[in-house]
Structure 1
Amino acid sequence: MNYSENGVKKKAEALRCRSVRISKKVQVLFLRLGFLLLIGAFFYMSYLGYRYMHSMIDEVPNVKTIELVPTGKPTLILDDSGETVRTLTADDINRSYTMLDQMPRNLQNAFIAIEDSSFRSHEGIDSVGTLKAFVTGLTNGGNFSQSSTTITQQLLKNQVLTGGEEHDFASRFKRKFKELYMALSLENRYSKDEILEYYLNTIALGQNTLGVEAASMRYFNKHVSDLTLSECATLAAIAKNPVSYNPINHAARNRNRELLVLTAMQEQGLITSEEYEKAIEDNVQVRVQRYNEEYVKDKNPTSFFTDALILSVIEDLKKELGYTDTQAANAIYTGGLVIKSTQDTNMQTVCDKELNDPKNYPSNVKYQLNYQLTIEHTNGILESFNFSDMKKWYEENNKPIKSYFKSERQAHAVIAPFRHHVVTKQDTVIAESIRTIIEPQCSFVLMDQTTGEIKALVGGRGEKEESLCYNRATAATRQPGSTMSVLSAYLPALDTSGITLGNVYDDTKYNYPNTEQPVNNIYKDTYHGLTTERDAIKNSINVVAVKTLDQVTPHVGYSYLLNLGFTTLVDGYSDDTGHSYTDISLPLALGQLTKGVTNHELTGAFATIANGGVYHQPHLYTTIKDKDDNTLIDHTMSTSKRVMKESTAWLLTDTMREEVAEFDSGSVKFGSSDMVIAGKSGITTDNNDLWFVGYTPYLSAGIWCGFDGNRSQKNGNYHKLIWKNIMEKINSRYETKNSFPAPEGIISATICTKCGKLAIDNLCEDAVGGSCKRVEFFTESTVPTDSCDCHLRCRICKSSGLLAGDGCPEADVYDVVYLQKKDEAAGEGKTQDSPLIMPEYLIDSICEIHNASR
């Protein structure tokens, strides 16, 4: 054995080498095992992927059996008791099938250019776009909404694949896979022309139309085969979003997108530069506006309630279940849905009857003439005329006519002379529409404040001639007048700013801060002087409303309105001229808004006060079930949130209850019972808009009356009588309640109404002009603790009329309680406080008759 030093070193080195060799062998072994495991895992995952893909393929409908033009099953609309009130079928939607060879080549190219430029070359999907969208979807939680969609895929989504299946990543991935797989299969079965024909005959194009033929007749009153290039581009522009881009309601958006369509067609070589230039010179949207009224009356129009319900269901199917516009329309008219509405048919009948009873309106009714005429000249050029053109022609001939007529006969009489002037013997009348609209018009919304369910809704008076027409209850935005002061100024003041109903503001001449613009009261030169918040609400005092909002700040008031469900307010924008618009300003306190509000949302806001400060989103249905009785949407438990304190809601309710009792008892209070009512009137300049929004312990209702064209009215009270007639009949089914119970924490205190502080006995009630003592209600933290400091008892000598001195006989002395008001608070002009203030000549003056030596 070699135990020398070198020998030991060699032995140790050999052992180390063996250890390294063993370690390397083990590492190689593990690497090989790991590699084999990875290969195994890869093949196993591939197998699972194959099985998963195969299972999805098995679920894909066979393209040989699918219906690309659905026949459908009717949809049932039920009332709140489960009775069928309307059946919707394919006959209720404008649909007309047209062969592709009857469609202009420009129409086909317009849709292809803007929706799917590679339609003629791809095999059903856009591979590059789909790959990009797939990667984006994986990194975006499975949201494949940004996926590039071909015309083939759109056809499948609209007609075959139902919405509502995309609840998680797996379901979204599965739906997308089905769509892609079916698109490839569909392209193998049908030609490009067949796919395009199906697509153009089924796509939703707004205004209750499906397909290009129905849309062509709706917008242009002509068959699709007769469309011009610009008209083709206009229809293609709608496809992106039929609600936001239809040329009737959103002409500017449609025009901008029409230009994009024409530009795309030119860039893709589908039209020449000359055709492009000619097309952009044609302002199609102007014609569409004139064509709008030129179609046959609906023989069986849906009601205003059903109209609003249909639009609400379409929006919710899109928003909550991911339906496209076409899918939603197909579901409603051919999908066999069962929609449980919130409508109470008995209540609706009462509303319809009262709102259409001529006896409820002023006797001097007017009629607005809605006239449309389209003619074709011998050179093929179409020309359209409307009432504005007629009015201008009469003015040019020194025979001006008014915008409103005393009778329908008088309105019709002005047509013949104008028609004779514009239509020659060689011209052909393409379409002519003559309609008269009775004025003033109205809208009414009835709600259950405890649930947000709309029990009845009326969008206008007079014969309803078409489905999905102008609905004044949900679509008309009008200025709300003093109703808005309660919501934008007084509500946040009481709720968060420490202000009480007893707080006092000076109602005097006043300009908006940092401007020369005056704040005018309803009666411009009438000022009440020192006024409590309660009295300002009851008397609709504009100056106090503006001062209150100034203290609260417009941003806070605006925020409250958003929480109350208003969607038509404007936070700020500038028009093309650079003029800025915003509702976040002090005129918000007076309801002077950029656009206005709808009756639907205004009633919902007041229903929140009636419900103790809890907002329920107003809704028209509770459940939607499919043809197999599966629940698609359930709104039985509506969206709700607390917007204000319960104490705030009650304080406002008590104030509005007092307003009704003092000012509106003759027109609003029920004659058959003592049912308690709270409510607020709203009147705009010259009675253009007449509002009353009020509630009982059971139901809330809002009524608007006025002319569609903002015409002044002489009678400013008839709308309240209609409100009373409806609510008295409907509330008769309920037990009479004569009060709104106060919640816990409400405390009463006797205050002086000229300073808002605690009243002093034998002082405030003896004030010049009458007692200023009143019981007011507060929350525990806002009860005043200081006593009145605005009244002063003075001893006056009868002989001199000056302040009595020690020398004045008691028999000649009497007491007067004057109002102490600072000079700067008296304003520039007189107020109702002026006679109550201590005259200047009394200040520092003592009776000299009895106190000469003093």
Structure 2
Amino acid sequence: MSWLKKLVIILLSCLTLGVLSIGITYLVLKNDLPSVETLKDVRLQTPMRVFSQDGELISQFGEKRRIPLKLNEMPPMLIKAVLATEDSRFYEHPGIDLIGVMRAASVVATTGDYSQGASTITQQLARLFFLSREKKIIRKVKEAFLAIHIEELLSKDEILELYLNRIELGQRAFGVGAAAQVYFGKNIQDLTLSEIAIIAGLPQAPSVLNPVRSPSRARARRNIVLGRMLAEKYITQQEYDDAIQAPIVSKLHGAQVTASAPYLAEMVRQEVVARYGEEEAYSKGFQVFTTVDARQQTKAVNALQANLHAYDERHGFRGAVKTVWPAEKVVAADGSISFKEDKRFSDEAILAYLDEQDSIEKLQPAVVTQVMAQSAEVMISGGRKIELPWDGLKWARAYISNERQGNAPSLAGQVLAPGMLIYVREQEGQWRLSQLPQASSALVAMNPKDGAIRALVGGYSFSQTQFNRVTQANRQVGSNIKPFIYSAALEHGYTLASVINDAPIHEWDEGSGQAWRPKNSPEEYDGPIRLREALAKSKNVVSVRLISGVGIDHTIGHLAKFGFHAKDLPRNQTLALGSASLTPLELVTGYAVFANGGYLVKPYVITKILDDQNNLIYEHQSVSVCDQCEQLATNAAEANSGEVQPVTNDAPGTPAVAADPAVTEPPKPTEQYAPRVISAQNAFLIAEAMKSAIWGGPGWNGTAHKLKALKRRDISGKTGTTNDVKDAWFSGFTPDLVITSWVGFDDSESVLGRSVTLGGESGATTALPSWQNFAELALENTPEQFPPTPTGIVSVRIDRKTGLLTQASDDSSEFEYFMQGTEPTQYADPVNPLQPDQQKPAEIDIFR
């Protein structure tokens, strides 16, 4: 009994001493312990994500990759894998696992090794938020106290959810959601058991155990995790055996982008950083929603890339990217071709070589392994061998220059040889030889009613160059400037029926001491021609004569109304030929004025920004077109004054709206409205004239006649080609969408040239195809729209040749639109059998 009492006393003394020690330690460390109250409102550092208007992910910006998830959004098997590996008694202990502590203490006592961990998930969470990773006793004591406090503050599920979202898992991935994306390019719900085990094994040493850096170490750690899961009976023996045999297949993946708009995403990034600063922009989890339509954006990318490939192919094949091994060509007497290959690579060596090559957009690197008479076999990444049929090879004339190509090949051996590294791409289910286009392009589509950008592509590949040609490329606009010059002419007394002499100009320039001789392209002259037809045929000399008639100062002043900077407009007659340099975004903004009835809208891309808690922190204030707003305000003012009077149109083209006596106060719009810069009549007439560029007239075609294939009468458009064909343009619109397409070279010196198959490049052949390809999808579900004709527009029958009134009703006449008061008053008929007092009035319609 004496011995037993002593033992009890010793145990009680040790217990008391232990409790006192813990209490004293807590009092000593109390002031050094951080408050864990912050965990109640913790905000994980998350990157900025950019979305299309329909919620598709465009891009992600930020150093730390994180995809916050709720616990019920995580696969149950992943949660079990983490618990089995990191803390199997998580739901049983109070934050400290005493069994684990005793085990670690015995290891320290017997071996002096401190590497044996005893930290629970709660302790790891405490360390993640408040402590360092140093292996010292004092840190472990603090960790224990914090863990107990955390358990008092949060539920087990809340702790586990916070841990799984916060834990660092290597390659800048934080949390299991980001790890699934970074290592496997998958949504977390789509992970296999093997992949789940790999992620669950990462917390121990993410920098060395991740499958990208060390597949072998990742495999060993995965197997340990699977063993723990089997021991805890979370998986069956069969599931274990299958997962153990699964290969480690992993590479770094970016954000799971579902809509490709990298140039627009960079515009968004710059705007958000300018607004909030880099630190907040990249870490506060902003969700930025843009104006882009994901479907239209995808089509815009495809249209631009396909058009560049078409241009590139018709100018010839520039040869292999590299030669992997040499092959000597042997031409037989019958003309057949074979090759000698003394240093041919094995399939394994080819595959290893391809693993080091990068794909570019739809271009895949490939090594030629065999060349037949009119086909070739190539190996692409992954070891797959594919055939290039003759239809995918026969385009490859030898490139000589942008102006010249070699003869068409008749055998594959004239184009390819074994050992060549080339690019291939798939088109309509068939593989074809390809190459990285040297020419550049841009395409931008905008809603003309409020300036919302619907699609924007700043080049062939953002990975090759981040130069955004939509916003940064100032290029000569060529004939794309002509509708604005014609608009100025209408403001100075001209009409669409005015006749100008389409004849060569020889004008002496005293400054240079030389004659200036602007020419049409093609160099054809029609003599006297009406303005509608001259615009549709893009007659250069007519534009020059119009500037002479209007005056350069008046012309530039008018063009400035469309948002163009006067300093960018040459103060001479070369402006008529498109010598001004503008960006595609400036041009599309200018054309929007014609599309929306005369208003200048400002392009924008961000609609709203949410924070990581889905709180609205920014919303774009729309500045849109409103034809009747000023009129309604006038009506309301008159009603308040008691003087209800017929309304006159201060702004030409504003529809007349009778004053409503019931209106007692002016409208209070919730948004701002775009300013009117030209009259509705002017915008209407130019838009109508540009329709003739597509549909032409009896016996003649406009420069954009290929757009007849779209079978829409509501499209207005204008081609543009600069001197020496360095730039090709097409701009066009419907009432709901305005689009500009540009093709050229970044160096601004290279010419687009000509090809054997198509002839000379131009706006109609080089820029219009991508516009048409995009518009075909963008407009496919939109019915034709014909807005009401503005008040103050009249339509009279005129003589096609003279633009004067006519009583004829055959092909020599047509109806033309005029601003009321500018319609012709004279008849073209040289002989009229009726006496003056018997003459029939000309046919006339007045739109009121």
TM category, shorter: 0.3 to 0.5
TM superposition score normalised by structure 2:
0.46
TM superposition score normalised by structure 1:
0.46
